[in-house]
Structure 1
Amino acid sequence: MTWMVTGGAGYIGSHVVRAFRQAGIAPVVLDDLSSGHRVFVPDDVPFVEGSLLDTALLARTLGEHEVEGVVHLAGFKYAGVSVDRPLHTYEQNVTGTARLLEAMAAQDVPAIVFSSSAAVYGTPDVDLVTEETATSPESPYGESKLVGEWLLRDQGRATGLRHTSLRYFNVVGSGTPELYDTSPHNLFPLVLDALTQGRTPRINGTDYPTPDGTCVRDYIHVADLADAHVAAARALSAGTPLERVYNLGSGDGVSVRQIMTAMADATGIPFEPKVAPRRPGDPARIVASGELAARDLGWRMTHTLADMVRSAWEARQAH
């Protein structure tokens, strides 16, 4: 059984590739290396450098490798930047997904696991986000992910495509030291970069209505996330009915202050974070329930906050 992983040279995608190999599923990677790294792909895993916008390349890759399913992670992923580059975001995330589905239909590839995002919810007005929570994206990025889900839904109705979409929040940590988060926007690499460069990390706002006054968010270890993709792929391959979307969440979340404390403990670098004003639009708490994924995919979080921070620090030191 072979599955194609789009974006398989990225931080998340490379962990998914390794999880598939460990599960006995042969992966093939397609990535344009706009944010991924060729070195993240094992030498013995087939690698195709190319764009989701190249339908012919997609179809050829699917056919040549006899692909039975796709994990679709590739896309433009920076929500804040998407506000300034909406057309680019839609081209990469919506047009790219449509062309992938076109190529899959041409090659009779029957299944896809879509990497969606909690950004589809915007700023929910509930304490615990479930799959029934109303979607209200607040950025072109979030909107593009929601449209991607719609494309899968409609293609499923039209062709019988088996599909599910995984919505998740903040992905952190490392499953192995050679793979690490290189995003210039994510909290963990920003904090670790600051500490290693002798700067003091910053907290934006300490007067939120939360236990310690700082924002509470859902964080998920990248290895746990990769396992969810394996479980979804196996279920789709077996023809097991799945829900259209699943949240991958902790159910309780952690605060920015807790993360800072864990960072000091893991790195051995004591610091007191600088306090900056709130950022406009930052909600006090966004936490999701993972109960549906636990029920249908047998998925659960296995890594603690300490695990997440320690593994991220180990990978940062290795590079």
Structure 2
Amino acid sequence: MMTREELEAREEATLAPYAEKAGRSRGRIVPEAEHPYRTAFQRDRDRCVHTSAFRALEYKTQVFVNLTGDYYRTRLTHSIEVSLIARTIARTLNANEDLAEVLAIAHDIGHPPFGHQGEYKLDEMMQEYGAGRFDHNDHNLRILEKLEERYANFRGLNLTYEVREGLNKHRRPHLLIDGHEVEAYQISVEGQIADLADDITYNAHDLDDGLHSGLLTWDSLEKLELARTVAERIGVALPQRGSGDEMLRYQVVRQVIDVQVEALMACSSERLDRHNPQSPDAARMC
């Protein structure tokens, strides 16, 4: 039986010096007793998954309206897929998989309905009423720190500092975490992994949805270097095939993800080797 202490010891023994370790977390706003079998980051992941806000992502989409059928992705399925890619990248770079996973799982919780247009409208309305600005990243933290009420002893989920900091992506310089300014270059390695996994995932899935809907054609992809690289990998001249070829589309989407992930891991590995950061804080400056 693996205890939390043994899981933390395994992280210390196997993860890179620049990886965040659960046993060294800066802690929670309200101190809590540790769980016997889960690390702090694993508990945070589970807390986010059990929220009503996470379940509500099933009804929100990024581009296409999901009224009927099960083809187009929702923000819920997107978040799950981002978490899978984030874990792969984190594992390969010897970073903390659990932290990368919770950041990927929870990264879209603050999005309103109707995609970015819904966000722009809310922002406009809040300014009209003198209520400040609306930003989905700020709202993400608002939901997890204040609006989700599941515990008697504190508001929100009482997440660890590392998770709250990592969810504060696309941050503005004035935004504070526990009284400290957090700027874009200060994101942890795991936070950067989750953010880039999000980009990789929606790039591939937007392509998939575009081809499936007919808004994109194989001919239109010919000018893209990524599409040409994918075509070489699968040995097919893309413009010679019809957009209704489902098997080809599946192959292309898989390869689009693989090409981006491999490039990211190669570039990141080279950069980490060159700078050789010996702590999470040192890695933030790479």
**TM-score (norm. length: structure 2):** 0.33
Tell me which protein shows more strand as a share of its residues. 1
Larger radius of gyration: 2
Q: More helix per residue: 1 or 2?
A: 2
